[in-house]
Structure 1
Amino acid sequence: MCNTASSPLSTSHHLLNPIKPMDDEDEDDEDKTSHQHLHRLPTLSEGNISEARIDETQQAKRVHLCAQFEYSAYCSSSSCCCCVVSMVFLGTLGELPLAAGSLAIGFANITGYSVLSGLAMGMEPICGQAFGAGRPDLLALTLHRAVLLLLLASLPIALLWLFLMHRILLLSGQDPAIAGAARAFIACSVPDLVLLSFLHPLRIYLRAQSVTAPVAACSAASVLLHGPLNYLLVHRLRMGIAGVALASVLTNLNLFLSLLAFLLLLPNPNRRSCWLLPGPDCLRGWSNLLRLAVPTCVSVCLEWWWYELMIVLCGLLANPTATVASMGILIQTTSLVYVFPSSLGLGASTRVGNELGAGRPARARRAALVALALAGATGLAAMAFAASVRHAWGRMFTSDADILRLTATALPIAGLCELGNCPQTAGCGVLRGSARPSAGAHINLGSFYLVGMPVAVGLAFVARMGFTGLWLGLLAAQASCAALMFYAVASTDWLLEVQKAKQLTQPPPPPPAAAYSSSSSSSSSSSPSPSPSPSPSNGSSNNNNSNDTYNDAINGHTNESSSTIKIKNGTSDEDEGDYKLAKLDEVVVCIHNGCHEEEDEKRAPFENDHPLIYL
């Protein structure tokens, strides 16, 4: 079982854990009574948020609402609101800049932003479960490794944007005028890659510890400057489409600097427990991060690329300028609506990861079910919103009649897509929190590219339904994805996931010791007493005996049935009736009756200086 000792990260007064900790004894009792339900699909009554789950719902809401506020504010500043404001300013420049900006944003999402976002999400299960298991050192190391990983990934992406984008767009059949303007837009967006390499891991690192208010406050401050920056660069300095791209870069720069100032300048007596400076350790031990980051990136990209490929396919339809511009407006609209299910998925990922790391499978399961139920309600609200604004929404961006007609036709279908997108996004968050990104990647691959893509291409180009056919293909993809995601979450073996979480967050093995002396038992006595420590002159046999005793200690085995073995400086002593902790070079070992038992007061003197091995 993981370490349940008091630490700065487990106190309710700590800045990074504002939520009141749960009663472990109550949780253990509840888990025992709930274990029989952890291997089967939920019943119909379990799908509802009943009175029996009021306490769980309130706690889930606290995590969800914090994550929702944080992510809503951030998305409004750096992706959703910024993109909507950018589209408005692109629309003021004319039809061609609007189409070129939409195409450039789509290309940037396909080749860059989705890759960085997906790689960063690979640290979510590690951070969430590490926080639940009380491993602040693993939190900090994962942050450093993720930043380095994203910076390395940004290098080839930047080269692609600067030297190959224009040629790729022309080879894909895009209009040369639109492709040329899109190249100018994306060239000015290259610095955004560096900023997002820091912002994505930093937000996940803070969210795993339920620190959402600072991100929301910093995001709100940066978004207030986005509109004035666009006006200054686009109209006052007359930078045109390049000014829109630079305004987004400066907004992300403001957000990063404000978050950095919060972390470095705010007084925090417990900062050393949760914030470690980069060291040599961040350059090694990448296996767990890469094992989770790569399939998470694939899962995110498969879904994200579908939306952006729709913009590319729009360029192959009749009247490509109008269809590309209308698709850009609709994509930004769905991104705005996506704030709510995305924040729910982020809250579910954090909550499920924390509970699995703390060894509470029943609470992790109920948090997942609550997330799916709330996601269904969110999908209904999103569908109603899209249908109600179908005729008025497009006028916020343009007055072109063709663009307005296409937008009004597709908005109700986009609302139906959100009815499936919201539950599948929440389910994907549950899979991330339980460190199962490969399942999400397989679901997205099958849903979007084996179901959605053939339907979209067939309806748009074979059945000649055009723009509407593309959106019907997306509807088919979202419906199948939601069904598969629900089955994956509902059939989860939560007891098995707890065991996997323990393996993921376990501390590294101790450094090998040179030699440990041991005692040898007398042969036939029922309660053998340990022999005195052998003298150094015994040579190699002493080394063999010492290694055997040390290995037995590490494996949790003792020859005594009712005594405590104290291993210290190469000697073993028997001490009945009490625990003894001994400093073994840099490791503290406590063995009692062949198993591990904790006593906080007795291990406190060694806790700050030496790691503990629990057997």
Structure 2
Amino acid sequence: MGSSDEKTDLQTPLILISGQEYDLDSKGKFTKDEILTEAKKQIFLAGPMMFVNLLMSLVQTISVMFVGHVGELALSGASMATSFASVTGFSLLVGMACALDTYCGQAYGAKQYHMLGVHMQRAMLVLLLVSIPLACIWATAGDILQILGQDRAIAVEAGIYARYMIPSIFPFALLQCQFRFLQTQNNVVPMMLTSGFTTLFHIPICWLLITKFGLGSKGAALANGISYWTNDVFLALYIVFSPSCKATWTGFSKEAVHNVSKFVWLAVPSAVMVCLEIWSYEIMVIVSGLLPNPTLETSVLSISVRVANELGAGRPKGARLAVFMATFMVAIESVVAVVVIILGRNIWGYCFSSEEDVVSYVSQMMLLIAVTNLADGVLSVLNGVARGCGWQKIGAIVNLASFYIIGIPLGVVLAFVLHLGGKGLWTGIIAAVFAQTIFLSIITIRTNWEAEVKFSC
């Protein structure tokens, strides 16, 4: 049986911003001071988290960029392996860790601070256990990709890269738990600093392993694990020794092994909601390996996915004012991102490859990514609202319909029937993103925030 504190913490509201509840009156007009206060809260919370997410995605992106200058086949293999790892491992761990947004957030709001450490330990235990079978899947990635009909040369290269990425899955799992432990306390600056250092540290590590030690793409894969472990160690030291975590981290506790099933019960739908969206992008990269000239198509589509991920927005959540302010700010960010994408469309390709055909194809794909980003920014806010309000099941249904009933089938038809290649696959992604945005917008606009907060209470 769990402690009485743990039972109580599950009864606290889900909708929390900076540890405070919103006014139940959702129909009143907002004052200038309220708007400015909300804007400051989101800038100081979502801003650093946006950079943390960006820096985390850069670790794998930098590795792929280094591999791209080893050769086109190496780039295709690393791209395929990175997508495979995302579909079969990283996305699942990210989704399951999202359960801590609820549990740690509720514990912090109820001022049951020691429970944050208990929830984090429980999540770490579950995610590490889940990582073991995932590592076994990665070990056989090459064979699985060949069974799925991928080009043999690319599949073999991807299998080697995936095996050398296995040491990265365990620190990645721990890192997701640490992030959410700190984020729910609004303690996000340390994550930004450690992630920034880790990303900078990752560059010379890749160079040493790939160039000086002559490991090629294997060195890039190993560098991921080294960087994740480095970030883990820094955050662990901060959590243990920082006065700001004194109340929330009280040491290892036997409570962490209690109510594991309750954590899993919430972690599974959270994982489904996150995975359905992430998988759709990575599935497109894997499917691109079935196109004519698979080496070029896989390389370019993977680069497109990485660039789109890097320019993605944060994960704000909350009630009506938070939604309006988050949408407004992320819309501005999306416009800036679109300008960056368009102006730099002839440059992005050189970051990943020196092959002219790759660079030229990437330049064309950047225009499609710019269109995607217009809706993707607002979509990130709507997904955050869904998680904040506990709509994981609704979000999973919307993602399933948008990507797997509309997006992927449309992309496959355009790519293989109408012979549009990678452009056709990405057009399917655009359709899915806009469909998802429309569905979630309707749900959010029709939400009665007063009833939502009362229900959450």
The TM-score with structure 1 as length reference comes to: 0.68
Is 2:451 the counterpart of 1:485? no
Deviations 1:207-228 (A, max 9, x none): 1110011111111222221111
Equivalent-residue separation in structure 2 for 1:409 and 1:289 (angstroms): 44
- Deviation for aligned residue 1:132: 2.3
DSSP 3-state at the match of 1:274: coil
Q: Look up the match of 1:528.
A: none
Q: Which has the larger radius of gyration?
A: 1
Equivalent-residue separation in structure 2 for 1:118 and 1:267 (angstroms): 30
Is 2:253 the counterpart of 1:298? no
Equivalent-residue separation in structure 1 for 2:201 and 2:404 (angstroms): 39
Q: Look up the match of 1:465.
A: 420
Equivalent-residue separation in structure 2 for 1:435 and 1:135 (angstroms): 21
Is 2:319 the counterpart of 1:309? no
Is 2:279 the counterpart of 1:324? no
Structure-to-structure mapping, 1:205-604, within 5 angstroms: 205-267=181-243, 271=246, 273-338=247-312, 341=313, 343=314, 345=315, 348-349=316-317, 352=318, 364-502=319-457
- Deviation for aligned residue 1:495: 3.5
Is 2:69 the counterpart of 1:114? no
Q: 2:110 aligns with which of 130, 133, 158?
A: 133
Give yes or no for contact 1:123–1:292 (8 Å, CA) kept in 2.
no
Deviations 1:294-326 (A, max 9, x none): 111111111111111111111111111111111
1:262/1:171 CA distance change after superposition, 3 Å: same
* Deviates further, 64-73 or 422-431: 64-73
Equivalent-residue separation in structure 2 for 1:209 and 1:252 (angstroms): 22
Is 2:155 the counterpart of 1:200? no
RMSD over aligned CA atoms reads: 2.3
Equivalent-residue separation in structure 1 for 2:452 and 2:118 (angstroms): 23
Aligned amino acid, residue 212 of structure 1: V
Give yes or no for contact 2:142–2:157 (8 Å, CA) kept in 1.
no
Deviations 1:91-111 (A, max 9, x none): 221111111100000000000
Equivalent-residue separation in structure 2 for 1:77 and 1:499 (angstroms): 37
Is 2:133 the counterpart of 1:178? no
Aligned amino acid, residue 429 of structure 2: L
- Deviation for aligned residue 1:279: 2.3
- Deviation for aligned residue 1:84: 3.0
- Deviation for aligned residue 1:280: 2.6
Aligned amino acid, residue 428 of structure 1: N
- Deviation for aligned residue 1:55: 2.8
- Deviation for aligned residue 1:287: 4.8
- Deviation for aligned residue 1:329: 1.2
Q: Look up the match of 2:14.
A: none
- Deviation for aligned residue 1:76: 4.3
Equivalent-residue separation in structure 1 for 2:117 and 2:404 (angstroms): 37
Equivalent-residue separation in structure 2 for 1:55 and 1:127 (angstroms): 29
Equivalent-residue separation in structure 1 for 2:128 and 2:37 (angstroms): 36
Deviations 1:531-584 (A, max 9, x none): xxxxxxxxxxxxxxxxxxxxxxxxxxxxxxxxxxxxxxxxxxxxxxxxxxxxxx
- Deviation for aligned residue 1:259: 0.7
- Deviation for aligned residue 1:267: 4.0
Equivalent-residue separation in structure 2 for 1:495 and 1:287 (angstroms): 32
- Deviation for aligned residue 1:383: 2.4
Q: Look up the match of 1:568.
A: none
Give yes or no for contact 2:151–2:290 (8 Å, CA) kept in 1.
no
Q: Look up the match of 1:124.
A: 101
Q: Look up the match of 1:75.
A: 53
Q: Look up the match of 1:62.
A: 40
- Deviation for aligned residue 1:69: 4.2
Q: 1:95 aligns with which of 53, 69, 72?
A: 72
1:422/1:394 CA distance change after superposition, 3 Å: same
Aligned amino acid, residue 279 of structure 2: W
* Deviates further, 276-285 or 92-101: 276-285
Q: Percent identity?
A: 29
Give yes or no for contact 2:114–2:248 (8 Å, CA) kept in 1.
yes
Give yes or no for contact 1:122–1:289 (8 Å, CA) kept in 2.
yes
Equivalent-residue separation in structure 1 for 2:256 and 2:38 (angstroms): 33
Extract unaligned runs of 5+ from structure 1.
Answer: 4-17, 39-45, 47-51, 353-363, 503-615
Q: How many equivalent pairs are there? A: 443
Give yes or no for contact 1:98–1:325 (8 Å, CA) kept in 2.
yes
- Deviation for aligned residue 1:462: 1.1
The TM-score with structure 2 as length reference comes to: 0.91
Give yes or no for contact 2:54–2:311 (8 Å, CA) kept in 1.
no
- Deviation for aligned residue 1:53: 4.1
Give yes or no for contact 1:292–1:435 (8 Å, CA) kept in 2.
no
DSSP 3-state at the match of 2:345: coil
* Deviates further, 61-70 or 325-334: 61-70
Q: Look up the match of 1:147.
A: 124
Deviations 1:125-183 (A, max 9, x none): 22223322323243233212211121121111011111x31211101222222211211
Aligned amino acid, residue 97 of structure 1: A
DSSP 3-state at the match of 1:93: coil
- Deviation for aligned residue 1:266: 2.7
- Deviation for aligned residue 1:65: 2.5
Equivalent-residue separation in structure 2 for 1:225 and 1:379 (angstroms): 29
Equivalent-residue separation in structure 2 for 1:447 and 1:390 (angstroms): 27
Equivalent-residue separation in structure 2 for 1:62 and 1:499 (angstroms): 26
Q: Look up the match of 2:9.
A: none
Q: Look up the match of 1:86.
A: 63
Equivalent-residue separation in structure 1 for 2:74 and 2:451 (angstroms): 53
Give yes or no for contact 1:223–1:251 (8 Å, CA) kept in 2.
yes
DSSP 3-state at the match of 2:354: coil
Give yes or no for contact 2:39–2:325 (8 Å, CA) kept in 1.
no
Larger helix proportion of the pair: 2
Q: Look up the match of 2:13.
A: none
Give yes or no for contact 1:380–1:419 (8 Å, CA) kept in 2.
yes
